[in-house]
Amino acid sequence: MKSLQISSFKEYKEKYAQSVENPEEFWSEIASQFRWHKKWDKVLDWDFSKPEIKWFEGAKLNITENCLDRHLEKLANKTAIIWEPNDPDEESRHITYRQLFVKVSHFANVLKNNGIKKGDKVCLYMPMIPELAIAMLACARIGAVHSIVFAGFSSKALASRINDSECKLLITANEVYRGKKPINLKAVCDEALKHAPSIKNVIVYRRTVEPTSMVEGRDTFWFDELQKVDKHCDAEIMDAEDLLFILYTSGSTGKPKGMVHTIGGYMVGSTYTFSNVFQYDKNDIYWCTADIGWITGHSYIIYGPLCAGATTVMFEGVPSYPDYGRFWEIVDKLKVTHFYTAPTAIRALARHPLSLVEKHDLSSLKVLGSVGEPINEEAWHWYNDNIGKTKCPIVDTWWQTETGAMMISPIAGITPTRPTFATLPLPGVQPVLIDEKGNEIPFENAPSEGRLAIKAPWPSIARTIYGNHQRYKDTYFSAFPNMYFTGDGAYRDATGNFRITGRVDDVVIVSGHNLGTAPIENAIDEHEAIVECAVVGFPHDIKGNALYAFVTTYDNIEQPEDELRQEINDLITKTVGAIAKLDKIQFVSGLPKTRSGKIMRRILRKIASNDTSNLGDISTLLNPDIVENIKKSAL
């Protein structure tokens, strides 16, 4: 939306100042540019001590009217989604705003016909095909809450997510194509549903012609369902603070957290940041390579771009198939102007011959983006030189599942960039650095480093953890009074630019995926030979971080270590998913523990990173001798 866009650095500064001094006025001006059935009674009501955050209370809307209906007047024939299949020989699909509107309304009636009502939870476990976008928007159309589970997760992970929010309906596909071989998604669902009794029906999209096993009375095909209903579906009128979706993200302890996002604030936040950060112009072709199963896909493949009337590309495949030039082939073919990806992909691609890049004409590109983890200097330059040909600003966007939208990021072409820096906070975002003692580090002390917290709410902040408000409070609002704690560390330079240094808790970002170490440890502990274990991250050239486990076994175990390693990784694949597989598994005689029995992961992290020159004070350990032993046999 052009009307939302900041057009100079001076204007950014003015808007930023307004957003801090008078947030209600600032956000109300922005929100006024969306379609509401009724405007809000109050822009913002908040209390971080509870915590309770409400934006646009009293307002009525439906987000799909903003993504679809609103565009029918001027953009009906504009392409909303370009779908690029896994196999380059299969045809792309171009879906206009009018077609998408019809498809969403039609499928919304399918949901209703399956007994889904406002407030019901629907789980989507689907490949990157337009039907995933259609299903999520159809949920939003009728006021149902979608919970999308990344289709790479195991059946156990799927079942636990379904159970946590008691989803009634599961939508999936028979198979998924990613790279060479198809994966049978439906079989994963069938396994999960043995342990997920809340699901009453399964709708299966037939992605391939392979025969699919269906359970009579429970499972039906997408196309058969469409035949039963008509194509018109009025949007359900929702409250701004009604739930839009639940999305699970890893925690440092316990099960994944179902982050709850509500409609009004999320819509305003995702669209405002999309329009500004990318400076999207009306004929641009925008491509975000994330999977919709993650927050990046929710906010910046679907909701933000569609609300802004953009053309958004959805890619089914992987960067390496049929070869490592696939991304660039697509950029060339579709004349992509905006390309948004993760540092791990950039590092993987940079390892392959430049001829794979040079074969393709990338001159359509205007803006490059990065998200998911800190981007290292080398990758930044490779991206800038070889993909952007030094002409395209790189927006290094820092944000989280919990924040719903970008928080710290350059505005393309407007904010001066600095390699490896996410630069400045976007309007409405008030970041602060906190020192070891819990005190705010004043800006005058710059350059400085500390833990990153946010002082005041922004519209797209998650409102709670589904079913566990106490955990929401403990995780985000208890470390520092009256602030949201991000779990990240950051460095701030003398001009106020932020560089995110990484997680400071037990979450590890592997290939841009946020993985909690606790569920992985639980998986390992299930092995009968294992007494206990600790999983930490260590730096890895391509993945950013990889996982390293320190494991103790029972004395009488005679199994060869490599066989045990294989079994441990198989267990992890089964319980968490292949993305959480360990790169290194070291068998040790004990783990370093504090006197209260807590594993000192700080020490293990250093050993795993091969950085043992300064392990800090280990005299407080229950078993200081063990450290030397572990060091000696480190992998």
Residues near ligand WTA (CB under 6 A) are: 249, 294-296, 370-374, 396-401, 422, 486-488, 500, 503, 509, 514
d(CA 63, CA 271): 11
Cα-Cα-Cα-Cα dihedral sign, residues 493, 495, 498, 504: positive
The residue written with tokens 């409400």 in the block is: 54
On the 0-12 / 13-18 / 19+ scale of CB atoms within 10 A, 627 is buried
In the complex with ligand WTA, the residue whose CB is nearer, 196 or 395, is 395
Measure the CA–CA gap between 529 and 23, rounded to whole angstroms: 57
Is there a contact between 123 and 169 (Cβ–Cβ < 8 Å)?
yes
Question: Using CA atoms, how far apart are residues 44 and 22, in angstroms rounded to an integer?
Answer: 11
Report the nearest approach of ligand WTA to the CB of residue 445 (Å). 22
Q: How far apart (Å, rounded) are the C-alpha atoms in residues 122 and 242?
A: 15
**Alpha-helical segments (H) within 551-594:** 561-575
What gap in Å lies between CA 305 and CA 432, rounded to an integer? 29
Euclidean distance between CA atoms 55 and 52, whole angstroms:
10
Q: How far apart are CB 408 and ligand WTA at their closest, in Å?
A: 8
Q: Is the dihedral of CA 30, 32, 34, 38 positive or negative?
A: positive
Closer CB to ligand WTA, 98 or 455, in the complex: 455
Distances (CA, A) of 90 to 82, 179, 223, 316, 322: 13, 13, 20, 11, 13
Nearer to ligand WTA, 315 or 399 (CB): 399
Compare residues 224 and 541 and give the one whose CB is closer to ligand WTA.
541
For ligand WTA, the closer of residues 25 and 474 by Cβ is: 474
Cβ proximity to ligand WTA, 16 vs 399, nearer residue:
399
Closest CA to 327 of 293, 298, 362, 296: 362
205 vs 399, which CB is nearer to ligand WTA?
399
Nearest CA to 295 out of 343, 261, 346, 271 is that of: 261
Nearer to ligand WTA, 173 or 452 (CB): 452
CB of 310 to ligand WTA, least distance (A): 19
